[in-house]
């Protein structure tokens, strides 16, 4: 009970716009069954945009819900939706904003690029040695927003910023391959899992790109928490 209250408080505080997540919390017990495990999936991902020099990785948070659909004790399908899912890169070189005043102010700064998505992983998951699993498969993403945030330091670190909407420069759909591994924290069948995943985009997300092909890539550190699981359903 305390865990559920803490999760609800965290979601309301940090992700008040994510009504899908709140609905998932309320109906988690309905969505879980003998063959299906339902819960929250989230963590931090370290994203980069390949062939976009001199970009560096950008730490971002992600949150969503998942389904583990069991075919056997070892084999299952992992899917769901990352409602808050972001890609991007950090410390990019500034470029012209077609405004002499802004160009002058940010010429010695840097740019943080953030592309927000709804992401859907479709992974085959194999569990072994009771605790551990490996997984692999495609992930699809629908772009929702995109920003370049120009930053510079005048009196304090990054105390000056300017946000530019770049969503129309990026395609609506991204697709790639995801692989991962993780483990359960207990022998209980439906219990919290932690792990890492790596995503590599197979689509150049930039519209009318005339330079080197770009693509998103991310390392994910995640925690999966079953929601609404009764004591009977949690037993092996």
Nearest to 90 by CA among 66, 120, 116, 113: 113
Residue 27, pLDDT score: 52
Q: Using CA atoms, how far apart are residues 61 and 46, in angstroms rounded to an integer?
A: 9
Q: Which domains does the chain have, with CATH numbers?
A: 2-90+114-146+170-234 (2.40.160.20)
pLDDT higher than threshold 70 for residue 123: yes
Residue 29, pLDDT score: 59
**Which DSSP symbol is given to 76?**
E
pLDDT higher than threshold 80 for residue 221: yes
Q: With cut-offs at 50, 70 and 90, classify the pLDDT of residue 176.
A: very high
- Of residues 4 and 149, more confidence is placed in 149
Residue 3, pLDDT score: 45
The stretch 92-104 carries a mean pLDDT of 95
Q: Is the dihedral of CA 51, 54, 59, 64 positive or negative?
A: negative
Q: Using CA atoms, how far apart are residues 212 and 209, in angstroms rounded to an integer?
A: 8
pLDDT higher than threshold 70 for residue 20: no
- Of all residues in the chain, the percent with pLDDT exceeding 90 is 70
This prediction has a pTM of 0.84
Residue 169, pLDDT score: 95
Interior angle at CA 176, CA 174 and CA 182, nearest 5: 125
- Of residues 16 and 40, more confidence is placed in 40
Q: Using CA atoms, how far apart are residues 189 and 205, in angstroms rounded to an integer?
A: 39
Comparing 29-43, 134-148, 204-218, 221-235, which segment has the lowest mean pLDDT? 221-235
The stretch 140-163 carries a mean pLDDT of 94
| Helices 19-26/2-14 angle, 10° precision | 170
Q: Is the dihedral of CA 51, 84, 5, 192 positive or negative?
A: negative
> Which ranges of the chain would DSSP assign to H, the alpha helix?
2-14, 19-26, 28-31, 100-106, 231-234
N-to-C CA span, the chain: 22
Residue 173, pLDDT score: 95
The stretch 202-216 carries a mean pLDDT of 93
Q: With cut-offs at 50, 70 and 90, classify the pLDDT of residue 229.
A: low
Residues contacting residue 65 through CB under 8 Å, at least 6 positions apart: 20, 21, 24, 38, 39, 40, 41, 80, 81, 83, 227
Asked if 151 and 111 count as a contact pair (C-beta separation under 8 A), the reply is: yes
């Amino acid at each position: 009970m305390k865990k559920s209250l803490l999760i609800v408080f965290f979601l309301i505080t940090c992700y008040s716009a994510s009504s899908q997540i709140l609905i998932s919390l309320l109906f988690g017990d309905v969505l879980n069954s003998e063959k299906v495990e339902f819960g929250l999936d989230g963590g931090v991902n370290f994203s980069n945009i390949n062939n976009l020099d001199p970009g560096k990785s950008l730490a971002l948070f992600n949150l969503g819900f998942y389904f583990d659909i069991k075919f056997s004790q070892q084999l299952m399908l992992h899917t769901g939706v990352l409602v808050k899912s972001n890609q991007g890169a950090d410390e990019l070189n500034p470029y012209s904003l077609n405004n002499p005043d802004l160009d002058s102010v940010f010429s010695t700064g840097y740019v943080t690029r953030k592309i927000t998505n709804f992401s859907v992983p479709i992974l085959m998951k194999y569990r072994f040695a009771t605790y551990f699993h490996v997984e692999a498969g495609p992930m699809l993403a629908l772009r929702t927003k995109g920003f370049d945030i120009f930053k510079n330091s005048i009196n304090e670190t990054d105390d000056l910023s300017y946000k530019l909407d770049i969503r129309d420069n990026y395609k609506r759909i991204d697709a790639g391959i995801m692989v991962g591994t993780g483990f359960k924290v207990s022998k209980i069948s439906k219990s919290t899992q932690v792990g890492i995943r790596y995503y590599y985009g197979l689509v150049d997300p930039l519209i009318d790109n005339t330079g080197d092909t770009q693509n998103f890539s991310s390392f994910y550190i995640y925690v999966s928490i079953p929601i609404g699981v009764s004591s009977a359903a949690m037993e092996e």
